[in-house]
Amino acid sequence: MPELPDIVVYIQALEKRILGQTLERVQISSPFLLRTVTPPLNSVEAKKVVGLRRLGKRVCVGLEGDLWIVLHLMIAGRLHWHEGKAKELKPRSKTLAALQFPSGTLSLTEAGSQRRASLHLVQGEQGLRSLDPGGAEIFDIDVDQFREILQSANHTLKRSLTDPRLLSGIGNAYSDEILFQARLSPIKLTQKLTPEEIERLFTCAKSELTRWTETLQENSGAKFPEKVTAFRPEMAVHGKYQQPCPRCGTKIQRIRYAANETNYCPTCQTGGKLLADRSLSRLLREDWPKTLEELEGLKAGPQPRS
């Protein structure tokens, strides 16, 4: 799912292409995409784009009349820019929406068969607030506010960092990278954090999000960002299962839950302990390895008796 750095770069690219442009036509090929009834979708046509902003992991396009098109890409949705007019969209097309401007066409595609991406059309700030989960912007708070937010409940760090009601725009991929840089276990409970750990986590969260935003800006350059992915070769741990940790060389491990996975270095983050994968640990119970040495022993198979 595109997260804060990806959405920021999307918005910067769109500002260069559609800010001040008139939205000439909107096409939607999937009935599942549009999630609102009022205002009607055709009310945005012939309106000029007057602003763009990020709302968590959403891209918001502001138009005359205080109308806002809000796009949530979810996991598999991606934005694309094409010069020229949009083609007629066919039902069940991979392209779910096309917004045509004099300067070109912004399209939304979604890979796979599940339709999770959404388009909301809302009126004014109140309409935007209705879509806002309420999480704080990491760059708008200080470390004391960060501490208060994290410790408002006793959850794991992974859950708290990715909860949009607590913090805005951080998801599965960048939370892995933040926790790696902060040398903290993803399952450590927030109310068990020391003041030093909280300050380190706060600093790493801001520096990692800034670094990745700058990296993505550099990678896309003047082009529209087409290679938006949660798995990048420059990442330290996310998507790097069984690859060596760039800091200590230990093999990266992971735990899975539903469609998500958490990647971590056992040496740098958990004191050498393996975190229990929910599905496998249910099966293995007391046989689940607790350390890297035990895990390697399982992989090696039974040893011959002397």
Cross-sheet strand order for the sheet of 104-110? 25-28, 95-101, 104-110, 77-82
Q: Look at residue 260 in the predicted model and tell me its pLDDT.
A: 80
Residue 137's nearest CA partner among 221, 27, 28, 57 is 57
Q: Look at residue 306 in the predicted model and tell me its pLDDT.
A: 41
Beta-ladder partners of 251:
244
* SS3 label, residue 50: strand
| Structure letter (DSSP) for residue 237 | S
Between strands 47-55 and 22-23, the pairing is: antiparallel
Q: Look at residue 297 in the predicted model and tell me its pLDDT.
A: 47
Each of the 306 residues of the chain gets a pLDDT tens digit; together they read 899 999 999 999 999 999 999 999 999 998 899 999 999 999 999 999 999 999 999 999 999 999 999 999 999 999 999 998 988 998 878 899 999 999 999 999 998 888 899 999 999 999 999 999 999 999 999 999 999 999 999 999 999 999 999 999 999 999 999 999 999 999 999 999 999 999 999 999 999 999 999 999 999 999 999 989 989 999 999 999 999 999 999 999 999 876 688 999 999 999 999 998 755 444 444 444 455 555 454 444 444 444
Phi, psi dihedrals of residue 105, rounded to the nearest 5°: -125, 130
Q: Which CATH class is domain 4-129?
A: alpha beta
Q: Which residue has the tokens 């840089």?
A: 181
Q: Look at residue 287 in the predicted model and tell me its pLDDT.
A: 47
Q: Look at residue 284 in the predicted model and tell me its pLDDT.
A: 41
Q: Where in the chain is the domain with CATH 3.20.190.10?
A: 4-129
CATH entry 3.90.45.10 includes domain 138-287: no
* SS3 label, residue 99: strand
Q: Look at residue 11 in the predicted model and tell me its pLDDT.
A: 98
User: Cis bond leading into 39, ω under 30°?
Assistant: yes
Phi, psi dihedrals of residue 210, rounded to the nearest 5°: -65, -45
- Residue 48 half-sphere exposure, CB side, CA atoms within 13 Å? 4
Q: Look at residue 285 in the predicted model and tell me its pLDDT.
A: 46
| Structure letter (DSSP) for residue 66 | T
Q: Where in the chain is the domain with CATH 1.10.8.50?
A: 138-287
* Residue range 164-176, pLDDT digits in tens: 999 999 999 999 9
Cβ-count burial 87-96 (b if 16+ within 10 Å, e if not): eebeeebebb
